[in-house]
Chain A
Amino acid sequence: MNEHWTDRLSEYLDGELPDSERAVAEQHLASCPECQELLNDLRAVKTRAASLPSSQPAHDLWPGIAERIGRSAMVRPISTAPSKRRISFSMPQLAAAAVLVAVCSGGAAWLMRGELAPEAAPSQPIAAAPAPVRPLAARAVARQIPGPSTPSYASAVSELEQVLAEHRGQLDSTTVRVLEQNLAVINQAVADAQAALARDPQNAYLSNHLARTMQQKVALLRQAASLAAQS
């Protein structure tokens, strides 16, 4: 075993030795079983470290966090003051906006139609539906699962497209491009979600929960659109 090389085996392992030294190190390793064994140990330590699992805390830390952020846990006002600057949203903001319009409008429509159609209200057990009972899937179709043809959905998408068209010049070109890309992704995600909902149309609780959450998101989107329109 050569102490010079034992001290540098981690660098060798991590690929941080210059090529010239690396070649010499490999020559030494080929003739020194002790250093080779040590290198194997170091490699095992590194591998073990990289595979250490994460683990949940022993108890829920959220209540303490919620308490600490409580004072500021309210909707932060978005300035509506007119601005001449070009508006640039970050990618997550754009993705969020796109999904919010698509899903929120559909979710809201879903909820509204549920309220207008008491026979499909979530509180009413499916099993209690009067006979003759149409297949659940057929009922779901009759309720018009939110989609591109749902009036409020189409209206919201149209509204967003109109805002974008009117203020395209004030949006950063990268912003517009990313938004369009994400809209394509989101459209596919919405189609997938509609297909899933068609397969499980009786999951009314989840649908309503989603709709309520999405309604909050719609409010945020409208704030952002309002800001863009006022710039």
Chain B
Amino acid sequence: MATLPDEPDTSRWSAEAADVTLAAAGDAGAFERLYRAQVARIHALCRRMLSADEADEATQDVFVRAWEKLGTFRGESAFGTWLHRLAVNVLLGRRAAHGLRRERYHDGDDIFASVSARHDSPELSVDFEGAIGALPEGAREVFVLHDVEGYRHEEIAGMLGVAVGTSKSQLHRARMALRQYLDR
């Protein structure tokens, strides 16, 4: 997956490393600082993977899980990268826990209908973010993970439990559906 940019600010990196260590030892204040630094990115991921309605609760789930799992963070990647991967796992686990096992991966033209049907009023200006949210769930997950978050198809296939080819085809269909919502 795409990793966070190298942090050139040594003092900030050191402060984050210190906060990670402190939080792992139970310092809630240090964990709050980590939360403040990361919440925007995690909330955006939750909103795009799920929905705006579910994003707040899911974001809280992610940080609670991170608090519980901080002891397993070995510093082999940036904290933000570790947290992001944990967030994806939480979101996918949430999906499974909620029994969302309906047909997820569409091959027909209904993906285009899915996006347009939710925005069929010409008065409504559908922005790109809104169109992503209107994608069928499977295509949306693949699109967000690949094009927004930078994961590779092999990683996505592993996370979602699908074939690499399915990930590729869903990505293409999502892009095809979204191209009419580009800002021009």
Q: How many residues of A contact B (CB 8 A)?
A: 57
Q: How far is the CB of A204 from chain B (nearest CB, A)?
A: 20
Size of the chain B interface, CB-CB below 8 angstroms: 58
**Contacts A10-B172, A49-B143 hold; do A90 and B35 have CB atoms under 8 A apart?**
no
Known interface pairs A188-B10, A192-B11. Does A57 touch B39 (Cβ–Cβ under 8 Å)? yes
Report B-chain residues with C-beta under 8 Å of the C-beta of A44.
Answer: 179, 182
Q: Which of A16, A48, A91, A223 contacts B153, CB < 8 Å?
A: A16
B43 touches A55 (CB 8 A): yes
Whether the Cβ atoms of A99 and B56 lie closer than 8 Å is no
Contact residues, A25-80 vs B (CB, 8 A):
38, 41-42, 44-46, 48-50, 52-59, 61-62, 64-66, 68-70, 72-76, 78
**B175/A10 in contact, CB under 8 A:** yes
> Whole-angstrom distance between the alpha carbons of A9 and B76 in the complex?
35
* CB 8 Å contact bits of B68-108 with A (1 = contact, 0 = none): 10000111100100000000000000000000000000000
| Interface contacts beyond A53-B44, A99-B17: sample of 19 additional A-B pairs, CB < 8 Å, sorted by A | A7-B172, A10-B175, A41-B182, A42-B172, A44-B179, A45-B182, A48-B128, A57-B39, A57-B56, A62-B32, A72-B68, A91-B75, A93-B17, A95-B14, A96-B22, A216-B22, A216-B27, A217-B22, A220-B27
Give me 9 A-to-B residue pairs in the complex whose CB atoms sit less than 8 angstroms apart, sorted by A's number: A9-B172, A48-B128, A55-B43, A61-B56, A65-B35, A73-B26, A90-B73, A96-B21, A217-B18
